[in-house]
Amino acid sequence: MAIKLHDSLTRETRELRPAHADGVFRFYNCGPTVYAAAHIGNFRTFVVNDLLRRLLELEFGATKVKHVRNLTDVDDKTIRRSREEGRPLADVTRQWTEKFHADCAALNCLQPHEEPRAADPKYIREQVSMIEVLMEKGNAYRAADGSVYFKVSSFPGYGALSRVKERELQVGSALKSQAADADEKEDTSDFALWKAHKPEDGDVQWPGPRTASAGRPGWHIECSAMSKAILGDTIDLHTGGVDLLFPHHENEIAQSQCCNGTTFAHHWYHSEHLLVDGKKMSKSLGNLYTLDDLKAKGFSPAALRYALLSGHPRKQLNFTLDSLHAAESALKHLRAFRAQLSERSSGGNDADSDSVFTPIFTALHDDLNTAGAFGALFTIVNKGAANISAAAFDRVLFALGLDLTEPVAPKTDIPADIAALAEKRWAAKQSKDFAAADALRKDLTAAGWTMLDRKDGYSLEPVKK
Ligand code: AMP
Ligand code: ZN
């Protein structure tokens, strides 16, 4: 049963197929910016992509899917955070990468096969060499300050994904949204491939491409370069949240196609945003949740995963705490059903049971209709466990990534001396004594604890072995 998925470029729902002769499906998913804990909106996107990865594995075979998800570990936000905290950039991004991995594991997301980092010297070289090719071909130019910009007018296909030119006609100035640093550029729609070093970048810099100054890569080039280096010039599927459609993905297409002279991605997929209580999530509205915030309220990561998958991924989903209560109760039903299947060792044969679950896969293969799949799942569960094999049900659970083991209560047994050290470090940080705060963090790490900072507080976790 082929997987059909909406393609943002052609605006059609098309079958996913590996285009290369080796039959390996090449899948690139834009990853997080690691400067703080990812919020549950980010995790909606990552959980939807994890569902896609699981369906691809079931369809093509686990060894025939190559899933790459990058880490943006150098950009304005990460650099600003490192400056504010008086810590090296690599320390900050390592801390939040670890946190991201821990949250992904709690949400039962499979690890991507490769997770390249933009600031890895190996990938800095790949980005620099791609920029050099673009300069040689006349698609990029050095600006007066030593930065390098992509010349949008050199790529006639620009705007095909986001229909930005049509939008330009309608609303006037969509392209001007990339107008930062406008005086350095030949045209306001051009975008940075390489950013010349500025004093606020501190010691974050690498030698630039050709005649450019030392500096750091622009954001968009990392995905073009890392995708090319790991998956080749043409990939089968490229994904992200809707906000990445423009300018990020539009710019990736321009860079990759001008450099490589061939199609960048056969299929583009964008999932919609998560809203909280009907509003865009933001710190100032106080409606921004992380996984830890929800765990502190007593909810399990499995319930969050369930809630994030419960709405159609191409529609905005309104998150409420009530939806988590509903998810906990749905999981309870599924747990009870699974237990019944284990008790009846004589449950139906596999093939017949698989056909019972067909409506679930039919819905998932129809543009990831998760809402339809959960509906079909509960129609089956409500009918009872007769003639269903546990193995067939487990395939459904694998596809959805639902882990039905009982949630364990979060551990709070932090030793008093560790809690005291953490308090001391927090106070030092609040009073901007970053040297002392840094030294105390090292003491905590040596004692086996990682301190995770948030704007308004912190949490402690045992250091991962
Ligand atoms: P970032 O860490 O900002 O680069 O974002 C990581 C991913 O989360 C990207 O694919 C974004 O499109 C996605 N994202 C950001 N905000 C939301 C949201 N409110 N709902 C769903 N996905 C989001
Ligand atoms: Zn990207």
Domain range for 208: 4-271
Which of 87-96, 243-252, 315-324, 350-359 has the least mean pLDDT? 350-359
Nearest to 266 by CA among 235, 245, 239, 229: 235
Residues with CB under 5 A from ligand 2 (ion): 30, 223
Tell me the average pLDDT across 310-329.
Answer: 97
Structural contact between residues 209 and 232, judged by C-beta atoms closer than 8 angstroms: no
- pLDDT score recorded for residue 172: 44
Question: 207 burial class (0-12, 13-18, 19+ CB within 10 angstroms)?
Answer: exposed
Q: Is residue 365 part of a domain?
A: yes
Give the gyration radius of the chain's Cα atoms. 24
- Write the CB contacts of 63 (distance below 8 Å, at least 6 apart in sequence): none
Ligand 1: atom nearest CA of 72 is: 4
Based on the fold, state whether residues 192 and 253 are members of the same structural domain. yes
Query: pTM of the prediction?
Result: 0.86
| Helix residue spans in 13-88 (DSSP H) | 40-60, 76-85
CATH number of 247's domain: 3.40.50.620
Q: What is the DSSP string of 347-385?
A: PPPHHHHHHHHHHHHHHHHBT--HHHHHHHHHHHHHH-S
Does 177 have pLDDT greater than 60? no
Of 400, 433, 448, at which residue does a domain stop? 400
Tell me the average pLDDT across 117-133.
Answer: 98
Q: Is residue 409 part of a domain?
A: no
Q: Rounded to the nearest whole angstrom, what is the distance from the C-alpha of residue 136 to the centroid of ligand 2? A: 24
Based on the fold, state whether residues 221 and 141 are members of the same structural domain. yes
Q: Is 30 in the pocket of ligand 1 (CB under 6 A)?
A: yes
**13-35 tens-digit pLDDT:** 999 999 999 999 999 999 999 99
Q: Is residue 146 part of a domain?
A: yes
Q: Rounded to the nearest whole angstrom, what is the distance from the C-alpha of residue 249 to the centroid of ligand 2? A: 7
Q: Is 279 in the pocket of ligand 1 (CB under 6 A)?
A: no
Report which bound ligand comes closest to the CA of 253.
2
**How many folded domains does the chain comprise?**
3
Based on the fold, state whether residues 236 and 262 are members of the same structural domain. yes
Based on the fold, state whether residues 434 and 358 are members of the same structural domain. no
Query: What tokens were used for 419?
Result: 């809690």
Tell me the average pLDDT across 415-433.
Answer: 82
- pLDDT score recorded for residue 171: 45
Report which bound ligand comes closest to the CA of 248.
2
The pLDDT confidence band at residue 181, using thresholds 50, 70 and 90, is low
Based on the fold, state whether residues 393 and 424 are members of the same structural domain. no
The pLDDT confidence band at residue 347, using thresholds 50, 70 and 90, is low
Q: Which 3 state secondary structure label does DSSP give 65?
A: strand
- pLDDT score recorded for residue 147: 98
Based on the fold, state whether residues 379 and 420 are members of the same structural domain. no
- pLDDT score recorded for residue 112: 98
Name the more confident of 137 and 287: 137
Based on the fold, state whether residues 98 and 177 are members of the same structural domain. yes
Nearest to 68 by CA among 21, 107, 106, 117: 117
Mean pLDDT of the chain: 92
Tell me how far CA of residue 98 lies from CA of 33, 69, 451, in angstroms.
12, 15, 11
Report which bound ligand comes closest to the CA of 219.
2
Q: Is 274 in the pocket of ligand 1 (CB under 6 A)?
A: yes
- pLDDT score recorded for residue 44: 98
The CA angle 411-413-419, to the nearest 5 degrees, is 120
Based on the fold, state whether residues 261 and 375 are members of the same structural domain. no
Tell me the average pLDDT across 160-184.
Answer: 62
**24-77 tens-digit pLDDT:** 999 999 999 999 999 999 999 999 999 999 999 999 999 999 999 999 999 999
Nearest to 142 by CA among 198, 203, 190: 190
**126-155 tens-digit pLDDT:** 999 999 999 999 999 999 999 999 999 999
Based on the fold, state whether residues 259 and 179 are members of the same structural domain. yes
Kindly tell me the sign of the dihedral angle through the C-alpha atoms of 322, 328, 329, 330.
positive
- pLDDT score recorded for residue 183: 65
Percent share of the chain, pLDDT over 70: 92
If one residue of 68, 72, 222, 243 were mutated to test the ligand 1 pocket, choosing by the most ligand atoms within 8 A of its CB, it would be 243
- Look at ligand 1, atom 12, and give the residue with the nearest C-alpha: 241
- Look at ligand 1, atom 19, and give the residue with the nearest C-alpha: 41
Q: Is 308 in the pocket of ligand 1 (CB under 6 A)?
A: no
- pLDDT score recorded for residue 167: 56
Q: Is residue 211 part of a domain?
A: yes
Based on the fold, state whether residues 139 and 187 are members of the same structural domain. yes
The pLDDT confidence band at residue 292, using thresholds 50, 70 and 90, is very high
**211-255 tens-digit pLDDT:** 999 999 999 999 999 999 999 999 999 999 999 999 999 999 999
Structural contact between residues 64 and 26, judged by C-beta atoms closer than 8 angstroms: no
Tell me the average pLDDT across 77-92.
Answer: 97
Q: Is 45 in the pocket of ligand 1 (CB under 6 A)?
A: yes
Strand partners, 461: 450
Q: Is residue 287 part of a domain?
A: no
Structural contact between residues 181 and 148, judged by C-beta atoms closer than 8 angstroms: no
- Look at ligand 1, atom 18, and give the residue with the nearest C-alpha: 41
- Look at ligand 1, atom 1, and give the residue with the nearest C-alpha: 32
Q: Is residue 382 part of a domain?
A: yes
- pLDDT score recorded for residue 146: 97
Q: Rounded to the nearest whole angstrom, what is the distance from the C-alpha of residue 51 to the centroid of ligand 1? A: 16
The pLDDT confidence band at residue 417, using thresholds 50, 70 and 90, is confident
- pLDDT score recorded for residue 449: 87
Q: Is 33 in the pocket of ligand 1 (CB under 6 A)?
A: yes
Percent share of the chain, pLDDT over 90: 76
Does 452 have pLDDT greater than 90? no
Does 400 have pLDDT greater than 70? yes
Q: Is residue 407 part of a domain?
A: no
Based on the fold, state whether residues 228 and 354 are members of the same structural domain. no
If one residue of 44, 45, 269, 304 were mutated to test the ligand 1 pocket, choosing by the most ligand atoms within 8 A of its CB, it would be 45
Question: 406 burial class (0-12, 13-18, 19+ CB within 10 angstroms)?
Answer: exposed
Q: Is residue 280 part of a domain?
A: no
Based on the fold, state whether residues 330 and 442 are members of the same structural domain. no
Does 200 have pLDDT greater than 80? yes
User: Residue-wise over 343-376: b if at least 16 C-beta within 10 A, else e?
Assistant: eeeebbeeeebbebbebbbebbbebbbbbbbbeb
Q: Rounded to the nearest whole angstrom, what is the distance from the C-alpha of residue 453 to the centroid of ligand 1? A: 20
- pLDDT score recorded for residue 408: 59
Residue with tokens 């086996």: 448
